[in-house]
Structure 1
Amino acid sequence: MTSVRFAAVIGAKPCQTESEVRKLEMAGIDMLHVEVMDGHFVPNLGGGPDFVGALRATTELPIEVHLRIEQPDRYARAFIEAGADIVTVHLEARHDVRKTIELIRSMGCRCGLALNPLTLLEKALKHLPSIHYLLCLTSNPGPRQPLLPGTLQKVAQAKECRKEGNFTYQIAVEGGVTQESLASVVLHGADRVVLESRLLHRGEDDLLRELRAAAGEANMGG
């Protein structure tokens, strides 16, 4: 049984980048998660290769870039060259998903495939053998959105599908996860949980320690 890993969303504010990273490192976070948004695929704007490059120069933590953009195939290369360890693209975006996955993998980068809350797992089945991570979004876009309980069924389905198909992808969950909902998220099958960094800013190391303990108990119970 592997332990659940935690990633923290880090905001694209260059003046605060180093201090933010140091706080997250001290908290014991496993990975940094960068949201890249184009104002079209989702209504917000944020992130860019320069920001990822600045992060790479600041930390040795793994960096996941979540491309919440319409044409991820046009920009994936730039983020990999900037230092991303994982590039996650959306099934729902306007691109040839298979070719984008091939591009990311050909550059020696790990590839994730993200599914919006209403997207059925069945639509992604043909891509599951080719990806390293399946990212299940469990809330609507925007800060402080609550977890949508029905989305956890998809997480459970992804876990069962991985077992039946003998696939190797890990299951990540992002959106509205709190200390209270974490156990349920893990029980449904999450291997990695993406947290808003603000959750870690109140007693960073203590909270993350509590989250790891709760995840471990849920794993043993499942």
Structure 2
Amino acid sequence: MTATTAALATVLAQARPGRLLVEASLWSADPRRLHHELACIAALADLLHVDASDGRFASAPQFTPTALSRLPAVGRPVHVHLMAARPLEQIAAWVQAGADLITVHAEAEHAEEALLTLRDLNVGCGLAVRLDSDPSVVQQFADLIDVLIMIGTPLGTKGTSMAPQAPRRLAEVRALLDAHHSATSIHSIDDGADDGAARWVPIIADGGIRPDTVPSLTLAGAGGVVAGSMLFTSPDPAGTLAWLRSPGGEAP
């Protein structure tokens, strides 16, 4: 199960203020009907989101590379959220299994080296920041990442309400990234390197994604959400996904 690098770039380019990317979290799918639910949701979502853990950084082991490799191809990029203290030890297995985008944690060992390794492997690079970490940590990684995940609940938990400080933290990181890339673009113009267009790195909100939390995350500058039970248990997945992309009015 894999999508091309070009397909991933096309999907990420769709993220912009007011138009959220929607990642479908396979953690919320029914394991007994996984292939059926995958086929239904993949036709709607922008990316498939796979949670993976070493069992220590986050307690539940969740998906494995072997499980990912056995999923049928559905034509959507696969985003692996790697909750591991030593991501370098696992990256190769996930790439071989079909990951198109791999997110490692800012709190992990050798996180920068892991991101550089992903770049060398021509795989999308993501960074995740836990709820208990200083948001300013993203600055040192800003030029290495394609996406940023801001965790809004205790890591590795399911069905937990979003922490009230999550939108504020996301807004703070949005401002940090925008200021950094704006400054970088100005330097590029001065150096004659390009047209100076500033990068816009999507911030994906993960945890507690519900009808009453998505609007505040959107206003804070989110570029996407990881939708789990809200999407998989919806009586109208297409309507729910359409609302998530541009939240406004009453949620279905």
Compute the TM-score of the two structures, normalised by the length of structure 2: 0.78
**Aligned to 1:43, which of 42, 53, 59?**
59
1:120 maps to 134
Gaps of 5+ in 2: 1-15, 182-198
Deviation at 1:182, TM superposition (A): 0.7
Which amino acid in structure 2 is aligned with residue 148 of structure 1?
A
1:24 maps to 41
**Aligned to 1:185, which of 195, 217, 227?**
217
Q: Does 1:111 align with 2:125?
A: yes
1:152 maps to 167
8 Å CA contact retained: 2:23, 2:45 = yes
8 Å CA contact retained: 1:62, 1:84 = yes
Q: Distance in 1 between matches of 2:21 and 2:135?
A: 22
2:147 maps to 133
Q: Distance in 2 between matches of 1:130 and 1:68?
A: 18
8 Å CA contact retained: 2:142, 2:180 = no
**Aligned to 1:211, which of 235, 240, 244?**
244
1:113 partner SS? strand
Deviation at 1:210, TM superposition (A): 2.7
Which amino acid in structure 1 is aligned with residue 65 of structure 2?
P
8 Å CA contact retained: 1:14, 1:51 = no
1:220 maps to none
Q: Distance in 2 between matches of 1:150 and 1:210?
A: 23
1:46 partner SS? coil
**Aligned to 1:52, which of 55, 68, 84?**
68
Which amino acid in structure 2 is aligned with residue 51 of structure 1?
A
Distance 1:197 1:58, change over 3 A: farther
Identity %: 24
8 Å CA contact retained: 2:107, 2:129 = yes
Compute the TM-score of the two structures, normalised by the length of structure 1: 0.88
8 Å CA contact retained: 2:30, 2:37 = no
Q: Distance in 1 between matches of 2:31 and 2:58?
A: 22
Deviations 1:6-44 (A, max 9, x none): 001103876533112112134x11111000022211121
Q: State which structure, 1 or 2, has the greater radius of gyration over its C-alpha atoms.
A: 2
Which amino acid in structure 2 is aligned with residue 183 of structure 1?
P
Structure (1 or 2) with the greater strand fraction = 1
1:73 partner SS? helix
Deviation at 1:201, TM superposition (A): 2.6
8 Å CA contact retained: 2:126, 2:149 = yes
Cα-Cα RMSD: 1.9
**Aligned to 1:33, which of 41, 44, 49?**
49
Deviations 1:96-151 (A, max 9, x none): 11111110111010110100001112223111111111110001131101000112
8 Å CA contact retained: 2:42, 2:48 = no
Q: Distance in 2 between matches of 1:25 and 1:197?
A: 15
Structure (1 or 2) with the greater helix fraction = 1
8 Å CA contact retained: 2:22, 2:244 = no
8 Å CA contact retained: 2:21, 2:225 = yes
Gaps of 5+ in 1: 218-222
Which amino acid in structure 1 is aligned with residue 35 of structure 2?
E
